[in-house]
Chains A and B, each alone.
Chain A
Amino acid sequence: MTALGPASARSSGSGLTSRTVANTVVLIAALYTLLPGLWLLLAATKNSDALFGSDIFSFGDFSLGHNLTELFSMEEGVYGRWYVNSLLYAVVGALAGALISVAAGYAFDKYDFPHKEKLFGLVLTGVMVPPTVLALPLYLVASGIGLVNTFWAVFVPVLFNPFGVYLARLLSSGYVPTEVLEASRVDGAGELQTYFRVSLRMLGPGFVTVFLFQLTAIWNNFFLPMVMLSDEKLYPLSLGLYTWNSSATVSPEYYPLVVIGSLLAVVPLIVAFVTLQRYWKSGLTAGSVK
């Protein structure tokens, strides 16, 4: 993006002061966004006593190791279980969801069928309806068919990603030229074969974008699991940490666990974000041009 950088503003008058002011403002904003994260990092190294009271920047009582052991042994290691659950919900869910969304978006772009635009209108309505509004209706249906408090009650609804379909249709018209399909048809390849061997490969970056957006959304998911699940063993991290936080209001020894548990829960998304930065950006820009 920086390659496209704007023309130098050095020519515009009062150079040095405006430069200083501008950089200071951005620096303050960056401190605002970073310092809470830094606090979390430091607080994770403190034990319960040090967390309350003593200076946060003193490294006198460094008990990161102790906190980690506590974290994974508390309540028979239920935290590890939550972590695995979150990974399952988010990674498997985002993979399956992205496959479904990209296939649908591609079909919307490359084929014609009756009521196509009406159906797509429904997809766009889905984009506008936030998932939280659907949580209670979903619970009512799930309880009707006896799926409440199961893995599927959280896993299946998050596969539905209308924004992914919208994005995939946009990307498919940009990345997959119709001539390629024609060529493949002339070669006698089947339609689905063409999709999986040729088109999906060309849609690769788009697929990653959809996957990442969905991964974040599922990792963030809180209302739906809270509504659906009562068995602690099925909880994702967000819901587990929430219950520990409510325990902490009664027994403060939970505070360090919530802190270090939160820190570890943030890691996968930060890693995904930093390593796959350009895909996030392409999704954001595609979303904003509409």
Chain B
Amino acid sequence: MSTALSEHQRTGPKAPTARPARPRRAGRRQQGLACAVLLAPFTALLVAVFLVPVGYAIYLSFFGQDHEGLGFGGGTTVFTGLRSYLAVLGDPSFRSGFGVIALYCLIFVPAVVVGALALALLLDSGLIRLRRTAQMMLYLPHAVPGLIAAVIWLYLYTPGLSPVIDLLADMDVHIDFLGLNTVLPSIVNIALWSGLGYNMVIFYAALQALPREVIEAARIDGAGGIRTALLVKVPIIRGSVVMVCMFALIGALQLFTEPTLMHQATPMVNSRYTPNMYIYDAAFRRNNYGLASAASVILLLVTCALSYAVTRWAGRRERSAR
């Protein structure tokens, strides 16, 4: 794509063909120049912090520092082909990272979609007092940075620090929030806390845009509040539902902050718990850039494939619905 860019810069000044009605050459040239000036900083960033790094990671994933056996110090860069990819894909700890993500999605996506949708429908039902205040309170955790949300909840999971654990102990309930089977739900809970209100606002905005006549018609036909919500409102805003699901899935693949913090507190979260943690571990604990690059490229491909698949699927649903 950088070729398209340089071509644009080359031909920029005479490029615009927007106004055939006024073929004044000087004006067109000026427009092209202005367009190039306005676009230049962004395209420079696009190349420097997006295309070049991705390209370089792909390059590095096929080459490796070869200093096995003879130990000539610095080592030479040699073409290793798919060796890094095979090493990554053959590594059980990388594959188990995707297993963790899958399990995480299985709990998180239904929880956040159902929760946010239910709250949005309730707010839209007209039954709620102080609607604005409620909305703001629910949205507030989204303004808390991810790491700090994780710190708050980690402390609420830590015996001795946590009033929750004390309270439960008074009721003779003893839960280890950082145990083998509870640590993943505990991580999901952090993400849910942060994302519930945010997604609720997206659904609520979509609901507010619904034509009121449709809702009235359903009501006149005798549908109750709950039936109207589930059978009329939800199907109409399913575009937003698909979008929220998609971003939840893509976000889940990037899971890093919460488990990294948990890793400091519990042995149940190892240093390669998620794909991103695996990448960090490969690059900075094992100093294997080839391995880390290959893992990054795989994660990038999975992310793109997933978002492409979901958008395609959503598009087809949209079209067939018409």
Contact A266 B144 (CB under 8 A): yes
Q: Is B243 a contact partner of A288 (Cβ separation < 8 A)?
A: yes
Our pick among B12, B151, B225, B300 for the contact of A113 (Cβ within 8 Å) is B12
Give A221 to B158 CA distance when docked, in angstroms: 25
B1 touches A118 (CB 8 A): yes
Quick check: is B143 within 8 A (CB to CB) of the other chain?
yes
Q: Interface size on A (CB < 8 Å)?
A: 106
Could you tell me if A140 and B4 are in contact, using CB atoms closer than 8 angstroms? no
Neighbouring B residues of A223 by C-beta, 8 Å: 256-257, 276, 280
Number of interface residues of B (CB under 8 A): 112
Q: Find out whether the CB atom of A39 lies under 8 angstroms from the CB atom of B201.
A: no
B286, CB-defined interface residue at 8 Å: no
Q: Is the CB of A269 within 8 A of B49?
A: no
Report the bound CA distance from A13 to B309 in whole Å. 43
CB pair B123–A26 under 8 Å, yes or no, is yes
Q: Please tell me if A245 contacts chain B, counting CB pairs below 8 Å.
A: yes
* Cβ A1 vs Cβ B147 within 8 A: no
Name the residue on B nearest A263 (C-beta): B148
CB pair A56–B163 under 8 Å, yes or no, is: yes
A119:B4 contact, CB within 8 angstroms: yes
Contact B151 A262 (CB under 8 A): yes
B132 at the interface (CB under 8 A from A): yes
By a CB distance below 8 angstroms, the chain A residues around B53 are 134, 137-138, 140-141
Docked pose: A280 CA to B197 CA in angstroms: 13
Determine if A160 and B50 form an interchain contact, defined as CB atoms under 8 angstroms apart.
Answer: yes
The answer to whether B138 touches A29, judged by C-beta atoms less than 8 angstroms apart, is yes
- Contacting pair A9 B126 (CB below 8 A): yes
For the complex, is B114 an interface residue (Cβ under 8 Å from A)? no
Q: Which of A113, A132, A139 contacts B15 (CB 8 A)?
A: A113
- Report the minimal beta-carbon distance from A131 to chain B, rounded to whole angstroms: 8
B-side contacts of A157, CB under 8 Å: 49
- Enumerate A233-261 residues with CB–CB distance to B below 8 Å: 237-238, 241-242, 245-246, 249, 255, 258-259
- Tell me if A34 and B140 are in contact (CB < 8 A): yes
Report whether A266 and B11 are in contact in the complex, using a CB–CB cutoff of 8 Å: no
Task: Evaluate contact between A137 and B296: CB separation under 8 angstroms.
Answer: yes
- A36 and B152 within 8 A (CB): yes
Given the known interface contacts A157-B49, A284-B205, the answer about A192 and B37 at a Cβ–Cβ threshold of 8 Å is: yes
Contact of A33 among B15, B141, B212 (CB under 8 A): B141
| Inter-chain contacts of A7 with B (CB < 8 A) | 126, 212, 215-216
Binary flags per residue of B169-188, CB closer than 8 Å to A gives 1, else 0? 00000000000000000000
A190 CA to B284 CA, complexed, in Å: 51
- With A33-B138, A52-B161, A136-B283 already in contact, the answer to whether A238 and B34 are too (CB < 8 A) is no
CB of B100 closer than 8 Å to a CB of A? no
Residues of A within 8 A of B15 (CB): 112-114
0/1 interface trace, chain A 124-162, chain B, CB 8 Å (1 if under): 011011101110111111001000000000001101101
Given A112-B18, A130-B254, A195-B38, A219 and B54 contact (CB-CB distance below 8 Å)? no
Residues of chain B within 8 A (CB-CB) of A156 are 45, 48-49
With A26-B119, A104-B42, A144-B56 given, is the CB distance from A222 to B147 under 8 Å? Answer: yes
B320 interface contact, C-beta 8 A: no
- 7 cross-chain pairs, A with B, having the tightest CB-CB distances, nearest first: A191-B34, A137-B53, A104-B42, A137-B57, A111-B35, A107-B38, A22-B127
A-side interface residues toward B, CB under 8 Å?
1-2, 4-9, 11-13, 18-19, 22-23, 25-26, 29-30, 32-34, 36-37, 39-40, 43, 51-53, 56, 100-101, 103-104, 106-108, 110-115, 118-119, 122-123, 125-126, 128-130, 132-134, 136-141, 144, 156-157, 159-160, 162, 165, 185, 190-192, 195, 216, 219-220, 222-223, 226-227, 237-238, 241-242, 245-246, 249, 255, 258-259, 262, 265-266, 269-270, 272-274, 277, 281, 284-285, 287-289
Q: List 30 A-B contacts (CB under 8 A).
A: A6-B124, A9-B127, A12-B224, A23-B129, A26-B128, A29-B138, A30-B134, A33-B137, A37-B152, A104-B43, A111-B34, A128-B304, A129-B304, A130-B251, A133-B299, A136-B280, A139-B283, A140-B56, A156-B48, A159-B49, A191-B31, A195-B38, A220-B145, A222-B256, A245-B261, A249-B265, A255-B161, A265-B145, A265-B148, A277-B136
